[in-house]
Amino acid sequence: MPIDFNFMVGGEAGQGVQSVGFLLAKVFARGGYHIFADQDYESRVRGGHNFFRVRVSDGKVDAIAEDVDILIALNMDSIELHQPNMVTQGIIIFDGEKVKGVSGNNGSLLSIPLEKLAEEKAGGKLMINTVALGAALSAVNYDLNMLNTVLVDRFGKGEVGNRNIAAAKAGYDYVQSEHKGNFRKIKPLSEAQRMLLTGNEAISLGAIAAGCKFMAAYPMTPASSIMEYMAAKSKDLDLVMVHAEDEIAAINMAIGAAYAGVRAMTATSGSGLCLMVEGIGLAGITETPIVIIDGQRPGPAVGLPTRTEQGDLQFVLHAHHGDFPRAVLAPATIEDAFWVTINAFNWAEKYQLPVIILTDHHLASSYATVDPLDLSQITIDRGTLFSEKEDDPLEYMRHRVTKSGISPRAFPGLGKALVVTDCDEHDEEGHLTEDAGERTAQVQKRLRKLFPLEKEIGTPQKYGPKKAETTLIGWGSTYGAIHEAVDILRKEDASVNMLHLNELWPFPAKAVADAVSKARNSYVIENNATGQLARLIKAETGYDVSGRILKYDGRPFTPAYIAQAVRKEGR
C-alpha cells in the first residue's frame, strides 16, 4: 500500500509549531521519504493560531493535502479548527490534562500529559513540543534513533540536545506503553538521501551557485529569509549582503554593484517592489543586469503579510514607465527555483536587463525534498564583454548601437575604458542627449535585445495526454497542486491535461495559443482575484480561456480543491 501520510502541528505562535514541523519533515526525509510541507502562520510573534503541515510520501509530492492523519494539537484551537480534516483512522495528539472538553468522532483522541512529561523527563515546559513530536512518531512506530540524530544535528550534543532527546523519548515511550492502539507502521525506507529545503533556500543556493556576489535588501515577509541566508553565508562564500535603509536604496545599491561588474540581486515582496519600481527602469535604461526576487503575498498595500497570492503578475510586467525589455520568471517547484535563479542571472547579463523572479509565500516558505542537484549542469554566461586586448579602450562606448542590440560590457576601474551610463536618454558613449535620432536608436537597440531573448524561452511544461478535452493552465508555485489535480481527475476518467509556465516574459505566445485553441475547455488556475494570466493570454494570443479557477483568500491551492473546481466548471 503506497504511503501518503499527513501530519499537522497546530498551536500558538511561540509554542514551537515551526520547530516540530521542520523536525518531522526532516526525520522522514532522512528515512528516504518524499516530503512537502507548508507553514500557515499569522503576522504575530506570540499567540494566534499557526499550523505546519507535513506530507510524507513514498512517491514524489509537490503539493499539500487537505486530509490529516496525525494532528499534534498544542492547544484547543488546533483541535477545533482541524478536526474536520481528520481521516477516519486519524489520531489527535494533545495534552488532556491541559486541554479539557475535547470530543468528537473524527480522529482517535490520544491524550498525553505533554507538559507533565516535559517537566518530569526533560526539565521544563519548553520541551512540550518535542514530547509531542516523540509521541507522533511513536503513533506510526517510526525509528526513534533517526529522530535522535536529527535532534543532535539541530540542537547540538550539549544540554539542549540531550533535553530534546529525553523529551522525544518520553513522548515516544508514553505512547508505546499507554496506548496500545492498532497504529500504522511507517518504517524508514532507505538511506536514499535527499535535501530538504524551502523555496527561499533554493533561490539563495541558486544565486550563490550563479556567482551572485552582492545582495541588498530590506526585510519583508516572505523574502527576508533570503537576506538572512545570504548574510549567514557571506563570510564563507565571499559575498556581501547589505541590509539597506529601504527598498529604494536596496535596488539602487544592487544596480550600482552590477554596473561595477558583479552579479547582484535584491529580494522583496509586492509592496516593497512598489518602492523599487524606479530601479527597474533605471536598470532598463542603463542596461544594468539585476535579478529581483518578488515573493508575492496578498495585496494591495500591506494586504495579508504572512499569506500567499499570485497577484503581482500584471504589476511586474508593467512596473515602471516607458518601453524597455525585461524578463519575468516564476519557478514552478522548489527544485525549479534553484535552476530558474541561475537562469535569471545568465539572462540578466546576456541581455543586460532586469530579470524578475516571481515566487510567493507558499513557494518561499514551504519545504520539499529535492534530489541531489547536479552542479555540473550549471552554466555561467556573463554575456558579451569588452576586451581591451582586442579593442582600443579609448574607443569604448558602453551603449554602442549593435545589430543584436547588445553592447559589450566593460567594468569601471578594471581597465582603461571609461564606462559611462545615464538614466537620462544617452548617446552611445553614455552621455545624456536629447537628440531625436540618438534617442530613437537607443530605444530600438534596447528593444532589439528581446528577439534573442524570446528564443531562449522554453516550451511551457505539459502533463497528461497530448490531446484532452480540458487543459488546466497555471504558472509559478501552483504547479504541484495542478499536476496532482490532473491525476485525481484522470482517475475519474476525465480527459484533462495541463500546461504550466515558469517563464512568463517574453511570453511564449505560440505554445500557449496552440494549447488554448486545441482544448475544448481551457481553465486558468491562479492564486489571484482577476485571472492575471488569463488577461496576459488574451493580450498576447487573442484567445479567451473558457474558465478561471481563482483563489484569493491568501491560502494555497490543494489538489483536491482544484479537482473539485474543475468538476464544477465541467457541469
Partner 1 sequence: MVTMSDYAGLKPAWCPGCGNFGILEALNRALIEMEIEPHQVLLVSGIGQAGKLPHYTRGNVFNSLHGRPVPPAIGAKIANSELIVIAVSGDGDAYGEGGNHFLHAARRNHDITYLVHNNQVYGLTKGQASPTSDVGFITKTTPYGAASPVNPIALAIVSGASFVGRGFAGDIDHLSHLIKKGITHRGFALIDILQPCVSFNHKNTFQWYRERVYNLEDERYDPSDKNAALEKALIWGERIPIGIIYEENLPVYEDQLPALSEEPLVKQKIDPRRVEKLLAEFM
Of residues 198-257, which lie at the interface with partner 1 (CB under 8 A)?
201, 205, 208-211, 213-214, 216, 233-240, 242, 244-246, 248-250, 252-257
Using CB under 8 A as the binding criterion, the count of chain residues that bind partner 1 stands at: 72
**Smaller CB distance to partner 1: residue 189 or 414?**
414
Spatial distance between the Cα atoms of 92 and 107, rounded to a whole number of angstroms: 6
CB of 29 to partner 1, least distance (A): 9
**Smaller CB distance to partner 1: residue 236 or 395?**
236
CB of 273 to partner 1, least distance (A): 16
Residue 12: all three cell numbers together: 500558538
Binding-residue pattern over the window 349 to 388 for partner 1, x denoting contact by CB under 8 A: ---------------------x-xx-x--x-x-x------
Other beta carbons within 10 angstroms of residue 529's beta carbon come to 14
Report the site for partner 1 in 165-204 (rule: CB under 8 A): 193-197, 201
CB of 277 to partner 1, least distance (A): 11
Spatial distance between the Cα atoms of 222 and 200, rounded to a whole number of angstroms: 8
Q: What does the DSSP assignment read for 476-488?
A: GGGHHHHHHHHHH
Spatial distance between the Cα atoms of 402 and 419, rounded to a whole number of angstroms: 17
Whole-Å CA distances, 561 to 86, 87, 525, 551: 16, 17, 11, 10
Site for partner 1 (CB under 8 A): which residue of 356, 419, 515, 563? Answer: 419
Site for partner 1 (CB under 8 A): which residue of 109, 262, 441, 488? Answer: 262
CB of 18 to partner 1, least distance (A): 17
Report the site for partner 1 in 336-355 (rule: CB under 8 A): 342
The residues facing 50 across adjacent strands are: 11
Could you give the dihedral angle defined by the CA atoms of residues 229, 342, 317 and 424, in that order, rounded to the nearest 10 degrees?
A: 90
Whole-Å CA distances, 295 to 235, 273, 353: 25, 10, 20
Whole-Å CA distances, 163 to 111, 129, 138, 150, 178: 22, 12, 18, 13, 22
**Smaller CB distance to partner 1: residue 193 or 444?**
193
**Smaller CB distance to partner 1: residue 245 or 391?**
245
CB of 349 to partner 1, least distance (A): 11
CB of 356 to partner 1, least distance (A): 18
What is the chain's alpha carbon radius of gyration, rounded to the nearest angstrom? Answer: 26
Q: Strands, E, within 269-309: which ranges?
A: 290-296
Q: Which range, of 78-86, 419-427, 440-448, 486-494, touches partner 1 by CB under 8 A?
A: 419-427
* Residue 424 is a binding residue for partner 1 (CB under 8 A): yes
- Work out the end-to-end distance of the chain between its first and last CA atoms, rounded to an integer number of angstroms: 33
* Residue 292 is a binding residue for partner 1 (CB under 8 A): no
Site for partner 1 (CB under 8 A): which residue of 18, 268, 286, 341? Answer: 286
**Smaller CB distance to partner 1: residue 381 or 487?**
381
* Closest C-alpha among 423, 425, 419 to residue 440: 425
Helix (H, G, I), strand (E, B) or coil at 73: strand
**Smaller CB distance to partner 1: residue 94 or 155?**
155
**Smaller CB distance to partner 1: residue 4 or 228?**
228
* Closest C-alpha among 218, 442, 223 to residue 352: 442
* Residue 431 is a binding residue for partner 1 (CB under 8 A): yes
CB of 115 to partner 1, least distance (A): 33
